[in-house]
Amino acid sequence: MNEVREDLRQDSPQRPGRKPHPAPGTDDTSGRRLLAFLTPSAGGWQTGLATVVGVLVALALSSLLIAVTGGSPLASVQALFQGSMANWTAWTSTLLYAAPLLLVAVGACVSARSGTFNIGQEGQVLIGALFGAWVGLRLAVPGPLLLVIVLLAASLAGGAWAALSSLMYRIRGVNIVVSTLLMIFIAQQLVAFAVNTSWLLQESRIGDAIVSPQSNPLPAGALLGSVGEYPNLQVNGGLLLALVGAVLVAVALARTRWGFRLTMLGLNPLAAKHAGVRVNALGGMALAISGAFAGLAGAVLLTSPVGVNRLQSGIAMNIGWDGMLVALVARNRPLLTIPVALLFGVLRSGGGFLAATGVPPFLVDVVKALLVLAFVAPPVIVAMIRRRRAGVRTARAEHRPAPVAEGAAL
């Protein structure tokens, strides 16, 4: 009944002077093209081979860069291993980083499935952390309930922030890729304003001390607990949240009617619309869910031991960007994001150890970028080669003289 009503609404005459814009994913061709370019189909053994070659090339280039900057590639690999996997302490650090990365990546999978390319996760992480911090510091609510409210508030805020892009597209046709990107800068300014404004969230001044642009620490009741104790293996609640989220999303996408509709919308929005899918609502909701996961990642950064349990301008730590890369490397498959997020967690926690080898830590980001390219580029290149070969074959067939039957000239 609802679907029929939606169709009727779409067919009803619009107010003069107002041009309606289709749902996210139906006409946002730039985002759709970009998404298709970055997540092509698997492509068979050639793609697998090209990926292996790509990873080897990436590792060779990384070694070269490390050597050029005066470091030892072997020592760097050892440092990465020691900082991320050598003992339980290192594993704890890796898992702490993997949790927010996984949350962002799972959200990115949802929006990508609907054909909407959300690249504003960094801003959504910030907004989630901002609202989480405000709620955590201002609500006089006891213990675990406060934590639940902080997580919920962060998710809602992140979701609402992403939904604004959907709304802008619906009302004014603003490109979603562009708007989600630009909203990051607004989010950064909002957080900077909040932590620099004494009546909002800036830390309290003690005596005549100089205050920093950050909030007070969150109360103990608002912090995510852990199983185990540092420096032994510590599994934080944030990781459990992220894992549950990944499994739920994977099941929902694969086994539910909602997931089927979302996939249909992503593959062919027009067909989905004709099949009765409420494309406007579904596309917008996918973007909002993606933002909600990013907002939740912001709350995890705020409340888990991975951060310092305060709101700071740099709290996002590029987790939004890296989470999006995790989704891209995992080809937007929620369950595949789990090992990829772990790999990125390894690079992050191991990166802290690189300082001892004399290698600048930012080189870890270069290595990450090369690895992402190694995973994303091969299917695109294979597809391009196939298209070119197919084009050449078609051209040859067109230029070949048509076979003439014997005696036809007679």
List contacts with other proteins (CB under 8 A): 1-2, 82-83, 87, 89-90, 93, 96, 135, 137-141, 149, 196, 198-214, 216-219, 230-231, 301, 305-308, 310, 312, 314-315, 317, 349, 352-353, 355-356, 361-362
Q: Which is nearer to other proteins, 41 or 212 (CB)?
A: 212
Structure tokens at 218: 């969150």
**Least spacing, CB of residue 1 vs other proteins, in Å:** 8
Query: What DSSP string describes 255-319?
Result: HSHHHHHHHHHHH-HHHHHHTT--HHHHHHHHHHHHHHHHHHHHHHHHHSTTS-SS-BTTTTTTH
**Least spacing, CB of residue 138 vs other proteins, in Å:** 5
The identity of residue 237, as a single letter, is G
Q: Which is nearer to other proteins, 78 or 268 (CB)?
A: 78
Q: Which is nearer to other proteins, 30 or 87 (CB)?
A: 87
Q: Which is nearer to other proteins, 136 or 266 (CB)?
A: 136
**Least spacing, CB of residue 247 vs other proteins, in Å:** 27
**Least spacing, CB of residue 132 vs other proteins, in Å:** 13
Handedness of CA 391, 38, 284, 15 (dihedral sign): negative
Quick one: which of 74, 201, 177, 54 has its CA closest to 117? 177
Structure tokens at 16: 């003069």
Which residues does 186 contact at the CB level (< 8 Å), separation at least 6?
123
Q: Which residues of 91-105 are buried (b: 16+ CB within 10 A; e: fewer)?
A: bbbbbbbbbbbbbbb
**Least spacing, CB of residue 360 vs other proteins, in Å:** 8
Structure tokens at 371: 């690895």
- Report which secondary-structure segment, H or E, holds 104: helix 88-113
| Omega within 30 of 0 (cis) for the link into 361 | no
**Least spacing, CB of residue 282 vs other proteins, in Å:** 17
Q: Which is nearer to other proteins, 56 or 220 (CB)?
A: 220
Spatial contact of 311 and 214, defined as CB atoms under 8 Å apart? yes
Q: Which is nearer to other proteins, 26 or 202 (CB)?
A: 202
**Least spacing, CB of residue 152 vs other proteins, in Å:** 10
Q: Which is nearer to other proteins, 230 or 258 (CB)?
A: 230
